A and B are shown apart, each in its own frame.
Chain A
Amino acid sequence: MGQQQVKEIILKIIETIAPDADLSDVKSDVRLRDQLDMDSMDFLDIVMELRKRYKVEVPKEDYMQLETLDSCAAYLAPKFEAVAAS
């Protein structure tokens, strides 16, 4: 799975977590927390949705990999591939 696709998946998840957030102009390299008023419960929601929808598990020590869309993509793309391959 490409990095662009991962970003779209993350944005789709954020849309369900924060339906009122404006996602039209989210910058890939800026912390999501700083752009979208997200707190740590929201990040936990992303982790739970990734597991529920895609069977992708993000261990606690890696939560900070979800800081920006770019870091999400870089970190998650191989994980999506591993799940697809198994």
Chain B
Amino acid sequence: MARDRLDGVRDHYDVIVIGAGLAGMTSANNLAKCGRSVLLLEQHYNFGGMATWFRRKGGHIFDISLHGFPIGMIKSCRKYWTREIADCIVQLKGIVFDNPQFQLKTPFDRADFTRILVERFGIAPETVESFFDTARRMDFYDDQSMTTRELFEKFFPGRSDVVRLLMEPITYANGSTLDDPAITYGIVFSNFMSRGVYIFQGGTDKLIQMMRQEMVRTGVDLRKQVQVERIVVEDGRACGVIANGRRISAGAVLSNANLKTTVEKLVGPEHCPDELLEETRAVRLNNSSCQVYMGIKKGERIDYIGDLLFTSVSDVFDTKAMCARDVTSRTFSMYYPDTRPGSDRYAIVSSTNANWNDWANLSPEDYQRDKAHLIETTLAALEKYVPDIRSKLDHVEASTPVTFHHYTQQMHGSTFGTKFEGLKVSMDLPNHIPGLFHAGSVGIIMSGWLGAINYGVIVANELETYMFEQARTGGHDDTISTTEPMRS
């Protein structure tokens, strides 16, 4: 008989968290530290969600989403996790751009971008200064009608090369386009492109292991391979879940599943106020990704050519082309042995943005054919940077939007959850269904590793406020104040 993954689980908890992605784990840990009894349920056999890794024969280990995050991660990990976790975060010094418009290498900080824009692109220093300051000052409360395209047009009219330099990494980092609100660009840009790109030394496996240990210490009841089938809503209030067929009750439920899945599937239309359902249906998803994982043979080495390579053969920057199946832009993440100190192994992961619809409806034969094509074209593109790559590797495989969906149940394999408008729906959820909270990738600011962690904290605070009020009023007060998201 299959092992009962819910063995020893109690009938009631203060909070049940659905999903052990970075947002879910951070919320769970935070609430446990506040003295709440917390049950964390994850359907996969690993914790981490998109922050994950896998091993292959021959001693290979591949990271899925460890390509780079902003410096703010150090502070957030120290505050919401542990000093040991924060201490493993290191800067990537060699960020390379290579496309028909320019080739350059940069530590990716304000000083160097300023130098590049002035010396190489001939932009007036005052303009650069004023652009950086404008981006820095942008706040969630600012006017949202200006698009990123208009922002660039204002500062760098007609300069598609400048737009490419300043936008391409952000598009990779969060799938945003020139039509997204300028403020979301400004906030992410200030976080990301002003003080460098960082990663977790030791690999995703080590990070998740450390987080798991911390959650054991803080007393979270952790369960994996448990599928939450339903969120139980009674008298309009969320009061538990049904998982692996068993009902478990809770004072509040926090879902880290995709926002649309949470509302449309886990709660279900029959328990949803119409307004919430309509708003949720209108929320758009972000695009997904394809990746190619290349494992280098034991004993082989690769010269240092930079850490993160933004490459493109497209004449100009174009977010639509970046998602197309006929790939023109790739990011290569180079994993040298110091990614995992003590190891002597190298790996390369190529990432491209991709559309769910290009991959989801293929016949098995076509799917395999397209995957093989993806691998072949990726190797061909990589040969420009690592000429003898084919003879150096002894493992290569690809993942597609279908793969991401399969493992994380993230709707349409979306890399960064929903678009911007999802944030409002996510934040408003407890006003429609008291006791139900959502923390997970919604829009540009609240996704990525740092965004997910910070949003996990923001929502844990909302939930604590709710529990606090419940205790004070004996559960009779069902008005909860709405939240304005914070600038992270």
- A57 to B33 alpha-carbon distance, docked (Å): 17
B457 contacts partner chain A, Cβ-Cβ < 8 Å: yes
A48 contacts partner chain B, Cβ-Cβ < 8 Å: yes
- A52 to B454 alpha-carbon distance, docked (Å): 18
Please indicate the chain A residues that have their CB under 8 angstroms from the CB of B79 in the complex: 17, 41, 45
CB <8 Å contact, A44 and B461: yes
CB <8 Å contact, B454 and A41: yes
Please indicate the chain B residues that have their CB under 8 angstroms from the CB of A39 in the complex: 487-488
Please indicate the chain A residues that have their CB under 8 angstroms from the CB of B377 in the complex: none
CB <8 Å contact, B486 and A47: no
Please indicate the chain A residues that have their CB under 8 angstroms from the CB of B76 in the complex: 41
- A39 to B76 alpha-carbon distance, docked (Å): 11
Task: Name the one of A47, A51, A60 contacting B481, with C-beta atoms under 8 angstroms.
Answer: A60
- A59 to B481 alpha-carbon distance, docked (Å): 8
A61 contacts partner chain B, Cβ-Cβ < 8 Å: yes
B372 contacts partner chain A, Cβ-Cβ < 8 Å: no
- Interface residues as binary, B463-488 with A (CB distance below 8 Å gives 1, 0 otherwise): 01100110000000000011110111
Total A-B pairs, Cβ < 8 A? 43
- A51 to B463 alpha-carbon distance, docked (Å): 12
CB <8 Å contact, B464 and A41: no
- Interface residues as binary, A43-66 with B (CB distance below 8 Å gives 1, 0 otherwise): 111011001100001011100000
- A40 to B34 alpha-carbon distance, docked (Å): 20
Task: Name the one of A40, A45, A48, A60 contacting B464, with C-beta atoms under 8 angstroms.
Answer: A48
- Give the size range of A's interface with the partner: 10 to 19
Q: Chain A's interface: helix, strand, loop or mixed, by majority?
A: helix
- A25 to B308 alpha-carbon distance, docked (Å): 42
- How many residues of chain B are within 8 Å of chain A by beta carbon? 22
Please give the distance in Å from B206's CB to the nearest CB on chain A.
Answer: 24
Q: Chain B's interface: helix, strand, loop or mixed, by majority?
A: helix
Please indicate the chain B residues that have their CB under 8 angstroms from the CB of A59 in the complex: 465, 481
CB <8 Å contact, B34 and A44: no
- A57 to B488 alpha-carbon distance, docked (Å): 22
Please give the distance in Å from B15's CB to the nearest CB on chain A.
Answer: 15
Cβ-closest chain B residue relative to A19: B78
B222 contacts partner chain A, Cβ-Cβ < 8 Å: no
CB <8 Å contact, A41 and B488: yes
Please indicate the chain A residues that have their CB under 8 angstroms from the CB of B252 in the complex: none
Please indicate the chain A residues that have their CB under 8 angstroms from the CB of B482 in the complex: 60
Task: Name the one of A40, A51, A60 contacting B468, with C-beta atoms under 8 angstroms.
Answer: A51
Asked, given contacts A41-B76, A61-B481, whether A48 binds B487 with beta carbons under 8 Å apart, the answer is no
Please give the distance in Å from A49's CB to the nearest CB on chain B.
Answer: 10
Cβ-closest chain A residue relative to B464: A51
Interface core residue of B457, B458, B482, B486 (most chain A CB under 10 Å) = B486
CB <8 Å contact, B464 and A44: no
- A20 to B468 alpha-carbon distance, docked (Å): 31
CB <8 Å contact, B483 and A60: yes
Please indicate the chain A residues that have their CB under 8 angstroms from the CB of B465 in the complex: 51, 57, 59
Asked, given contacts A17-B79, A48-B464, whether A40 binds B481 with beta carbons under 8 Å apart, the answer is no
CB <8 Å contact, B34 and A47: no
Interface residues of B in 144-199 (CB under 8 A from A): none
A-B contacts, 7 of them at CB < 8 A, read A39-B488, A41-B457, A41-B458, A44-B486, A48-B30, A51-B34, A60-B484
Interface residues of A (CB under 8 A from B): 17, 39-41, 43-45, 47-48, 51-52, 57, 59-61
Query: Would you list the 5 A-B pairs with minimal beta carbon distance, nearest first?
Result: A40-B486, A40-B487, A60-B481, A48-B461, A57-B468
